[in-house]
Amino acid sequence: MNRICLVLLAISLAACSSAPEFNVSLQTTPLLPIPSKPLDLAVTLTGAPTAGAAVKVKVAGKQMPLTAGEGGVFTTTGVVLPSEGAHTVDIIVTVDGESATYSATLNATCTKGGAAGAACCAPDACAAGLTCVFGACAAAPAADLARCHGEAECASGVCGDGTCNAPTCEDKVVNGGEAAVDCGGSCGGCPTGTACKLDTDCSGGVCALGICPLDAGKLIGEGDGSANTAKLTTILSQDMKAPTDLAFSTLDPNQLWIVDAPVDSFIVVFGAGKEGQSHNVLRDFSQHFMEEVMAISFADEPSFGTCGDSRNDYGGQAKPNNFMGPVQWPSKFNDYTKVNSAHSVHWDMLHSSPNCMGMASAGGTAYFMFNGYNNAIDWVDFKKPHCPGCDDHSDGVKRRFAGVKVKRVANIPSNLVYDKKTSWVYVADTGNGRVLRLDVRNSYAVKKIPAFFGDGTLTEFSKPVVEELNTSDLKQPSGLALDRGVLYVGDAATGMITAWQVADAGTSGSFGKKLATFKTGFAAGSLAGMTIGPDKKLYAIDRAGKKVVRVDP
* Sheet of 510-511, strands arranged across: 416-418, 425-429, 434-439, 465-469, 510-511
Could you tell me if residue 366 is inside a domain? Answer: yes
Q: Please indicate, yes or no, if residue 171 is contained in any of the structural domains.
A: no
Considering the domain architecture, whether residues 425 and 544 belong to the same structural domain is answered as yes
Per-10-residue mean pLDDT for the chain, 553 residues long?
39 38 83 85 86 89 91 90 90 84 85 85 86 91 92 93 93 92 91 92 93 94 84 97 98 97 98 97 97 97 97 93 97 96 96 97 97 98 90 92 98 97 97 98 96 92 96 96 97 97 82 95 97 98 98 95
Same domain, 203 and 122: no
Does residue 374 belong to any structural domain of this protein? yes
**Which pLDDT score is estimated for 438?**
97
SS3 of 401-413: ECCCCCCCCCCCC
Query: How high is the pLDDT of residue 37?
Result: 85
Same domain, 160 and 248: no
Q: Are residues 206 and 353 in the same domain?
A: no
* Claim to verify: residue 121 and residue 192 sit in the same structural domain: no
User: What is the structure's pLDDT at 514?
Assistant: 94
Cβ burial of 414 (10 Å; 0-12, 13-18, 19+) is buried
* Residue 224: inside a domain: no
Please report, as a single letter, which amino acid is at residue 182. D
Domain shared by 117 and 190, yes or no? no
Q: Which one of 65, 82, 108 terminates a domain? A: 108
Closest to 313 in 3D by CA, of 291, 298, 296, 331 = 291
Distance CA 106, CA 29 (A): 12
One domain for residues 421 and 329 = yes
Are residue 501 and residue 355 in the same domain, yes or no? yes
Strand runs labelled E in 30-139 = 38-46, 54-59, 62-65, 67-68, 73-80, 85-95, 98-108, 131-133, 136-138
The string of DSSP codes covering 113-140 is: SB-TT-B-SSGGGBPTT-EEETTEEESS
Pair 96, 206 in one domain: no
- CATH no. for residue 70? 2.60.40.10
Tell me the β-bridge partners of 257: 247, 268
What Å distances lie between residue 54 and 45, 88, 515, CA to CA? 10, 20, 75
8 domain residue, yes or no: yes
- Domain membership flag for residue 174: no
DSSP 330: E
Q: 10 Å Cβ neighbour count for 256?
A: 25
Residues 126 and 206 in one domain: no
* Tally of CB atoms within 10 A around 518: 28
pLDDT score of 49: 80
Neighbours of 507 (CB within 10 A): 9
| Helix, strand, coil share of the chain (percent; to 5) | 5, 40, 50
Find the CATH number of the domain harbouring 413.
2.120.10.30
Contact between 122 and 136 (Cβ < 8 Å): no
Spatial distance between the Cα atoms of 429 and 531, rounded to a whole number of angstroms: 17
Full-model pTM? 0.79
| Count of structural domains, the chain | 4
Pairing of strands 425-429, 416-418: antiparallel
The helix/strand/coil state of 75 is strand
Task: Indicate whether 363 and 375 sit together in one domain.
Answer: yes
In a domain, 219, yes or no: no
Do 351 and 326 share a structural domain? Answer: yes
Q: Which domain holds residue 477?
A: 231-552
Domain annotation covers residue 296: yes
Nearest alpha carbon to residue 211 among 240, 232, 237, 180: 180
